Each structure stands twice: as C-alpha cells, then as structure tokens.
Chains A and B, each alone.
Chain A
Amino acid sequence: MSTGTILIVAGSFLASAVEMVEALTIVLGVGVVRGWRSTLIGAGAAGLVLAVLVAALGPALGSIPISTLRLVVGALLLVFGLQWLRKAILRSSGYKALHDEDEAFRRERAEAEAAGSERRAGLDWYSFTVAFKGVLLEGLEVVFIVITFGSAQGHLTIAVVGAAVALVVVVVAGVLARGPLERVPENTIKFAVGLLLTSFGCFWGAEGAGATWPGDELSLLGLIAFLGGFSWLLVRALRRRRLALTPARASA
C-alpha cells in the first residue's frame, strides 16, 4: 500500500468520524426527546441520498482525464481544506469557541422539546426533517472528501471503505455510550483533517497544473510536516497576541 493510499484511508476515516459524531449528536438529541421511528427514518433517508451521490458522482469523475481531474480536485480540496485549517487554527489559539458535543446535545434536546407536533405521511415531521437535514449536511462534507480523495487517487473504493468504517465505529460507540460522544477529541481531529485536505490539495493541484513533486507521493509526508509546523507556529503567535491584548482590554 502506497503512502498516498494510506493517507487517503486515514483522511476519509477521520473526516467521516468527526462529521458522523456531529450528526449522531443531532439524531440522539431529537430521538431521545421525540421518539426513534421518525428520527431514524429521516437519518436513513439522508444516508440513502448520500450513498446515491457517491455512487453517481464517483464513477462519472473517473471518466475525466487524470491531470484535469487532479487540477480541479486539487483546487477544490485546497480551498475547502484551508477553511478547515483556518478554523482549527482559530480554535486552538482561543479565537473561536471549541466545538462542544455535550452543549450541542443539550441545545438539540431543548429545541426538540419546544417544537410543536405536526404529522405528515405518518411521521413526526419535526423529527424527520431535523434528522434528515442534520445527517445530509454533515454527510455532504464526507461525500465531498470521499469523492475527491478517491477519484484523484483512483481508489474510490478505499476512500468509501475508510468512511464506512468510521460510520460503524461512531454508531456502535454512540449506542454503547447512549449519549453524545463528547470525549472524542473532535477539535484535534479537525486540525488533522484540515492538514490532510490542504496537503492533498497542494499535491494534486500542483501535479494537475504540470509540476512534479520531488520524491513523488513521499513528498505528501513532507507537505504535512511543513504545513503542520507552520500551523503550530501560527497558533503560538496568535495565542501570544491574544494574551497580550487581554489585560489591555480589561483595563480599558
């Protein structure tokens, strides 16, 4: 198994796991308060839509010439990955609130309790739509990552397997915990995923534009180390800046 393939499995698994944890919190928050039938049907319907998207888009992308595909996928991954990375840097330096699953679960429960009851097609419409939207929106990011990772490397099945394993792990953990998975180091995982997406974006984008990397796929490890080191330095600089500003603001 090549370096690129191992990193694709790791990237798909981590990105999927972190998004599934967020989707699980929504499904649990609604299901616990309003019952499971409509909630699970909503979540299942969204899962079906996501599976159809992967099945339709994955093979379609396979027919595009690899250099064009890598240029487009690299550009998209780079822009998308930089969003994850910037947010992770802001969270780690204290400029953005850390994602708290326990708090999200409490909020979801409170909203589910306050919502009125409306039945459509024999379903509790609130439970169905909230679970459907939650799983669909969180899952779209997974689909985007799986399709781009898999198609640019020519290993869509491996990327899908990484995501599927994450789904099973998160659902089993959720059932065992009977609550939100607040102990998952979500913010650290998001940092790692941001780094992976940005590094793959750089790698494929440059290759698609006609450049060749020294050491071929091994340069991915160098890219991850370089961008990881830069992010660490940026987090340190931002923390220092924030701490230096805090007493000045307090005394103002």
Chain B
Amino acid sequence: MRYVKAFGRFWWDFIVGDDWTVAAGVAVALALVAILAHSGFNAWWLLPLAVVLLTGLSVWRQTRPG
C-alpha cells in the first residue's frame, strides 16, 4: 500500500505540481469548451483566456507578501 501511495504521489507531483487549483481550472475550462462545442459554439478562445486567468491568479497568490 505504501508503494502504491508513493507511486501516486510521484505522478501527482510530476503532472500537477504545487498548485492543484490550476489543474482543476484546466479541467473546468476543457469541459466548458466541450459543452459549448456540442451546443454549436466554437469556443477556441476559452482555453487561452483560462490560461491567462489561472496563471495570473496562481503566480499572484504565490508571491503575495506576508
């Protein structure tokens, strides 16, 4: 069990890293693009916008004084 946990932890750190909210935000943004595409809207602009928002928020939070 210890090895399974360590293996899972390694891949979590490898892919997701130190801010899980970015990964969650990417998942939500991709789901929105898919929902909009199935409703007939071509939302190609949504992911770059999500990247700007998620990166800005994550970096700003990490460098907050105090």
Contacts and interface: CB of A to CB of B under 8 A. Distances in A.
Interface of A: 71, 74-76, 78-80, 82-83, 85-86, 89-90, 93, 95, 140-141, 144, 198, 202, 205-206, 209-214, 219, 223, 226-227, 230-231, 234, 238, 241-242, 245
B63 A90 contact: yes
Nearest to A241: B63
A58 to B, nearest CB: 18
Interface in B41-62: 42-44, 46-48, 51-52, 54-56, 58-59, 62
How would you classify the secondary structure of chain A's contact residues: helix, strand, loop or mixed?
helix
Nearest to A245: B65
B42 A202 contact: no
A67 to B, nearest CB: 11
A79 B63 contact: no
How would you classify the secondary structure of chain B's contact residues: helix, strand, loop or mixed?
helix
Contact of B30 (A74, A83, A223, A230): A74
Contacts of B44: 206, 211-214, 219
Interface of B: 14-19, 22-23, 26-27, 30-31, 33-34, 36-38, 42-44, 46-48, 51-52, 54-56, 58-59, 62-63, 65
A205 B32 CA distance: 12
B48 A238 contact: no
Q: Specify which of B18, B38, B48 lies most central, judged by the most chain A CB atoms within 10 Å of its CB.
A: B48
Contacts of A205: 26, 30, 33, 47
26 contacts: A71-B30, A75-B26, A75-B27, A78-B30, A78-B47, A79-B23, A80-B14, A82-B22, A89-B59, A93-B63, A140-B14, A205-B26, A205-B33, A206-B33, A206-B44, A206-B46, A209-B30, A210-B37, A211-B33, A211-B42, A212-B42, A212-B44, A213-B44, A230-B55, A241-B63, A245-B65
